[in-house]
Amino acid sequence: MNNIIVLKTLREHWEKSGREDSEQALKSWYNEVKQAEWQNPNELKNQFRNASIVRNNRAVFHICGNKYRLVVKINYESQWMFVRFIGTHQEYDKMDVTTI
């Protein structure tokens, strides 16, 4: 992905008290995804087998052994990704991932 939008959201997450454990995992995820050139959801799944592909061009990544969930919106054609949510599994369960 040439452009990952809202890196600030990731940083704000790992700077919250009690969530510092996600910093290295999110930085690793970011660096890996930054180099990806997925053309479709199947290519994403080939690289991240535990990711979930959901409606409205969204994908959900498991961070820190699924302690946190990261939701992104992807435009494969333009090669951009927009971070929509990062939070605990419990916070994730309270939202509609397809509309966030």
Count of domains observed in the chain: 1
Q: Which residues contact 77 (CB under 8 A, 6 or more apart)?
A: none
**CB-based contact 6:85 (threshold 8 Å):** no
pTM: 0.91
Q: Which CATH number characterizes residue 22's domain?
A: 3.30.2310
Question: What confidence category does residue 7 fall into, taking pLDDT thresholds of 50, 70 and 90?
Answer: confident
More confident residue, 6 or 52: 52
Domain that holds residue 37: 3-93
Query: CA-to-CA distance for 54 and 44, rounded, in angstroms?
Result: 12
Query: CA-to-CA distance for 61 and 53, rounded, in angstroms?
Result: 9
Query: Is the pLDDT at 3 greater than 90, yes or no?
Result: no
Provide the pLDDT for residue 45.
Answer: 96
